[in-house]
Structure 1
């Protein structure tokens, strides 16, 4: 489980690395910061397509071999980004990064069920998902630090070396994991239980990223200490991830409803608070549990690899969608208004899960 967790840390750090590198990357490639920002949005959109596509094409390939191969793809993609002579080569490398992210997430999320006893699935899933939270706390700042000490290209080079180490570790640490049967991707959306997981999660993630993408300008507007606040937000996310890994196996649907309500409380009251620090921490703890809870709900609903592939796709697609919608609200209404939008969508997500859950017994 530790090796897979480091794998999720690696793919998420690879995806988020441009956040701290946009200015030097743009200067080196002679493009604007906005254009350089495409290196951040492209992998998420590609991953949304790649997750179900790779799941459909994986066939009977051993999952250990598949995960190792996807990590090898991350080695190539990050090395290509480090050596890119121009912007379009860098963009091509980021597209390949998106393929690796989508594929790795589609299969990594199902490993806990196959590798640990049933009673430990919650903790094991939390460990796998914990790579996401740790990446937001440590991965991106570490890449930014490397860039400040050497060059932005070295940040991609270091993550390529980490991906290489993870690839080797996966081959050594994981047992053979033969495919368990043919995947029926279309059947996921026809199953009301699985469809409910995906819609609930999608609404919650759209709301979160509509607001969170613009949390830095909001904090600047409110005069908060940005660095410390965001650091504690990330640490809260790690705590929320493991707390939800303990709570969610009992009832993942109700856990996700609770997380949605807490996110709504935090984002609804943020524009009204004199000091946003504690509310941002609450937000971090709440959202930190979303990924592991959604995965456990999908597992309990018997979604299998097909369900997890669609969950990966929904996550990546709604991250991009939320950021896009939030940007329109910021530009045409105000920065505080985007917090209220996030709260409204979180409440809609919780209400949908509550209403849907009363008519469905699977996954409750």
Structure 2
């Protein structure tokens, strides 16, 4: 048996085998995969959803926006509500909410029920992400925290590569409702995995909403959240409209765009682990590099992306960079507030999801008002702002996590 220690100031966890500890980490990774897949599922199903619910694709697309906004608002609220509940119990409860939301979406006879279902998905996602993000440090030895955190967040990257395309494929084969029903079934699998594989995880301390908000007063937390806001807003301003940009600049057809996005996604999974190892040593240096890589690749795409080969290389490098954003920014936040990991994580999830919605909105305004390739300049400019913020702001000491 291996005795697992937490960071300074946290009580020792009971002894358990390394295999049991890592199986808990895998269960959390499966959970992040499931919540992100559930959030993004409408992306590949908008047309059949709109036809079935008798609404436009634009209105159907609001089901994605609603989920992100609910997650952004609910995540800072759910940590105080969870109080001193055992985190295994709380995570299981949130996954049940997620399963109900997906099942309700599969049944929804109209847009009203669908909106309510997506609100439940947003609550389940926001709460699960906020709690799960800081639990790796409680499950494995200190030397393995970076790897474990990367594994938990690999669920986010793998969802973009496998989860959403799989849902789209299931929708094409059996109808869009079957895709949501499959997500509900996957949530039940996660529920069983969490109940069986996670140890008891007593709450470290009760956190009030005021306590969560006061964390923003810490300069290190505040800097990390601004980096998240800039880099994630910039990414989604550009990435949301990458298909029409590739069509316009590279002349890529639908099949080639699918290939380029797959290349991007696979590179993103690799970037998650590469950046996770780097962030464990130095969050500041890792985020400066990631943001700079994004600024260069996004900015170059409309300039030199006329060649499909060059466009493919740029998409791969972009994916490699952005794939490390979640784990690197989360590492920054956790290292900045080790005594209040859940509260800081809830702020992180709120800002992250708010930035997704803001990025898509700003990108749409720029695309309509200036031109489709201008969204790349916007994304590059916000990535540069992230570089400047990460380089000049207060950061946690290297090797803190």
Corresponding position of 1:245: 276
Query: What is the alpha-carbon distance in structure 1 between the residues aligned to residue 81 and residue 226 of structure 2?
Result: 24
- Aligned to 1:178, the other structure's residue is in SS state coil
Structure 2 residue runs of 5 or longer lacking an equivalent are: 1-24
**What is the CA-CA distance between 1:182 and the residue it aligns to?**
2.4
Structure 1 residue runs of 5 or longer lacking an equivalent are: none
Q: 2:342 matched to 1:318?
A: no
Residue of 208, 212, 231 corresponding to 1:204: 231
Contact 1:298/1:363 (<8 A) preserved? no
Query: What is the alpha-carbon distance in structure 2 between the residues aligned to residue 164 and residue 340 of structure 1?
Result: 42
- Any residues of structure 2 matched to 1:237-276 within 5 Å, and which? 237-273=268-304, 274-275=306-307, 276=311
- Aligned to 1:80, the other structure's residue is in SS state helix
- Any residues of structure 2 matched to 1:43-192 within 5 Å, and which? 43-183=67-207, 184-192=211-219
After the TM superposition, which parts of structure 1 deviate over 2 Å for at least 4 consecutive aligned residues? 360-364
Query: What is the alpha-carbon distance in structure 1 between the residues aligned to residue 94 and residue 218 of structure 2?
Result: 29
Query: What is the alpha-carbon distance in structure 1 between the residues aligned to residue 58 and residue 242 of structure 2?
Result: 18
Contact 1:112/1:125 (<8 A) preserved? yes
**What is the CA-CA distance between 1:187 and the residue it aligns to?**
2.0
Contact 1:130/1:242 (<8 A) preserved? yes
Corresponding position of 1:353: 390
Q: 2:244 matched to 1:217?
A: yes
Contact 1:193/1:362 (<8 A) preserved? no
Q: 2:228 matched to 1:193?
A: no
Corresponding position of 1:279: 314
Q: How many residues align?
A: 362
1:267-292 CA deviation, whole Å, 9 max, x = no partner? 11111112211111111110000000
Corresponding position of 1:294: 329
TM (norm. structure 1) is: 0.98
Query: What is the alpha-carbon distance in structure 2 between the residues aligned to residue 302 and residue 123 of structure 1?
Result: 19
Corresponding position of 1:10: 34
**What is the CA-CA distance between 1:68 and the residue it aligns to?**
0.5
TM (norm. structure 2) is: 0.89
**What is the CA-CA distance between 1:248 and the residue it aligns to?**
1.1
Contact 1:126/1:292 (<8 A) preserved? yes
**What is the CA-CA distance between 1:104 and the residue it aligns to?**
0.5
Corresponding position of 2:12: none
Query: What is the alpha-carbon distance in structure 2 between the residues aligned to residue 186 and residue 14 of structure 1?
Result: 28
Query: What is the alpha-carbon distance in structure 1 between the residues aligned to residue 267 and residue 396 of structure 2?
Result: 32
**What is the CA-CA distance between 1:363 and the residue it aligns to?**
5.8
**What is the CA-CA distance between 1:302 and the residue it aligns to?**
2.3
Query: What is the alpha-carbon distance in structure 2 between the residues aligned to residue 30 and residue 76 of structure 1?
Result: 23
Query: What is the alpha-carbon distance in structure 2 between the residues aligned to residue 235 and residue 11 of structure 1?
Result: 19
Residue of 194, 219, 226 corresponding to 2:257: 226
**What is the CA-CA distance between 1:355 and the residue it aligns to?**
1.0
- Aligned to 1:208, the other structure's residue is in SS state helix
- Aligned to 1:249, the other structure's residue is in SS state helix
Query: What is the alpha-carbon distance in structure 2 between the residues aligned to residue 58 and residue 307 of structure 1?
Result: 15
Q: Over aligned residues, Cα RMSD in angstroms? A: 1.1
Query: What is the alpha-carbon distance in structure 2 between the residues aligned to residue 356 and residue 301 of structure 1?
Result: 12
Contact 2:336/2:396 (<8 A) preserved? no
Query: What is the alpha-carbon distance in structure 1 between the residues aligned to residue 377 and residue 350 of structure 2?
Result: 26
